A and B are shown apart, each in its own frame.
Chain A
Amino acid sequence: MSKIISVHSFRGGTGKSNTSANLGALIAQQGKRVGIVDTDIQSPGIHVLFGLEQEQMKHSLNDYLWGNCDIEQAAHDVGAALGIQAPGKIYLIPSSIKAGEIARIIREGYDVGLLNDGFQRLLEELELDVLLIDTHPGVGEETLLSIAISDALIIVMRPDQQDYQGTGVTVEIGRKLNVPQMMLLVNKTPTQFDFAEVRARVEGTFGCEVVGVLPHSDEMMMLASRGVFVVEYPDHPIAKTYREVVLRLLR
């Protein structure tokens, strides 16, 4: 039985795409077939982490939404760059990074219903064990749809007052849509903070499990999205926390 996991944050800049990429890589390292869809069409970015250049993108999610290709034609096998070995596979379905195509999406919108068709087709055609949806920040129709069909929802937030308020909205929607597994991941936590206290405060505020509290990391900043952190720093405490998240997700 395949699993759909949405990775969401109410605000941008929380590390949502980094989280999607790291979880995807770790799941694929376990021999699973993973797809990652970048539905952050207005501000795509996850392709950078996988080293996928514009000229390598034969098709993107935009092409599928405009009827120019089947969605599996927009799936790029990015496993080799991460050293993923069979039977593990990791496919990225990127959003276009061409300025004109992003502008067209913003101007014209797109048929959100097609996304669901596409998700289901990806599960079948690529025989995926896990489909990760890297969502657009905030609460839009495509985000609601992703949450509605997900088996698990990971909400990424920083220990920041603005994130607290927005996260509350997402948690409320997740509850209303009865997402079977909902968890919070606190990211970019200043190392001076008491992590146990942060965890307790966030869990107390939202009544939702905190699956990990990740520190602000100089190594992550130095990597500067030039790779997937758990591949570059497999022994780092952040990688250990991501592994624990994966264990929870696949249990």
Chain B
Amino acid sequence: MSARFVALREELSAWTRREGVSASVLLELSPPLRRTLQRLLREGSMTVADLGASLALDADESGLIADLMVDCGFVKVQETDAASGDPVVRIVHARQTRADTAAAYWSRILTDSDG
């Protein structure tokens, strides 16, 4: 297993599940996960193979990380790519209101500034 895989597995395993990805959640993630989820926010979905490529993981590692991302509530897998037969991960948007998140993002910003 690669060092990248081990780091991502640790990060995702420690994550307290929240349904969906919000922008303030992105700020809490490591740069590789953040970049990949930002791409998913823009594109909506990608194959597990593309997810692995985005995270610099091999095929076996990609599947395991995709499963962990599902467990975290970031993505869901409901279909396979017609051409490759590869599973497709689809972003799950957090369904929050503005009022819900105000405290969260300021807390994040202040924590980062302090740190």
Chain A positions near chain B (C-beta within 8 angstroms): 4, 108-114, 116-117, 120, 139-142, 144-145, 147-149, 169, 172-173, 176-178
A184 to chain B, nearest CB (A): 19
Top 9 A-B residue pairs of the complex, sorted by shortest distance between their CB atoms: A109-B97, A113-B93, A144-B23, A141-B101, A109-B99, A145-B23, A109-B98, A148-B23, A149-B42
* CB-CB under 8 A for A113 and B98, given A140-B105, A144-B24, A149-B42: no
Count of B interface residues, CB-CB < 8 Å: 27
Contacts of A177 in B (CB 8 A): 23, 26-27, 34, 38
Measured in the bound complex, the distance between the Cα atoms of B93 and A141 in whole Å is 12
| Chain B, Cβ-Cβ closest to A150 | B42
B92 to chain A, nearest CB (A): 9
* CB-CB under 8 A for A110 and B41, given A173-B27, A178-B35: no
Q: Does B96 contact A (CB under 8 A)?
A: yes
* CB-CB under 8 A for A139 and B97, given A144-B26, A144-B27: no
B32 to chain A, nearest CB (A): 11
Contacts of A173 in B (CB 8 A): 27, 109
**In the bound complex, do residue B97 and residue A110 qualify as a contact, i.e. CB atoms below 8 Å apart?**
yes
Measured in the bound complex, the distance between the Cα atoms of B97 and A172 in whole Å is 24
Measured in the bound complex, the distance between the Cα atoms of B109 and A172 in whole Å is 9
Contacts of A147 in B (CB 8 A): 23
Measured in the bound complex, the distance between the Cα atoms of B42 and A4 in whole Å is 10
**In the bound complex, do residue B41 and residue A176 qualify as a contact, i.e. CB atoms below 8 Å apart?**
no
**In the bound complex, do residue B109 and residue A139 qualify as a contact, i.e. CB atoms below 8 Å apart?**
yes
**In the bound complex, do residue B24 and residue A141 qualify as a contact, i.e. CB atoms below 8 Å apart?**
yes
**In the bound complex, do residue B34 and residue A112 qualify as a contact, i.e. CB atoms below 8 Å apart?**
no
Q: Does B94 contact A (CB under 8 A)?
A: yes
* CB-CB under 8 A for A169 and B109, given A144-B26, A145-B23, A149-B41: yes
Contacts of B35 in A (CB 8 A): 178
**In the bound complex, do residue A149 and residue B38 qualify as a contact, i.e. CB atoms below 8 Å apart?**
yes
Beyond A109-B97, A112-B101, A177-B27, 7 additional contacts (C-beta under 8 Å) are A111-B96, A112-B97, A116-B41, A147-B23, A149-B42, A173-B109, A178-B34
**In the bound complex, do residue B97 and residue A111 qualify as a contact, i.e. CB atoms below 8 Å apart?**
yes
**In the bound complex, do residue B100 and residue A109 qualify as a contact, i.e. CB atoms below 8 Å apart?**
yes
Measured in the bound complex, the distance between the Cα atoms of B110 and A89 in whole Å is 42
Looking at A108, A116, A142, A148, the one whose CB has the most chain B CB atoms below 10 A away is A148
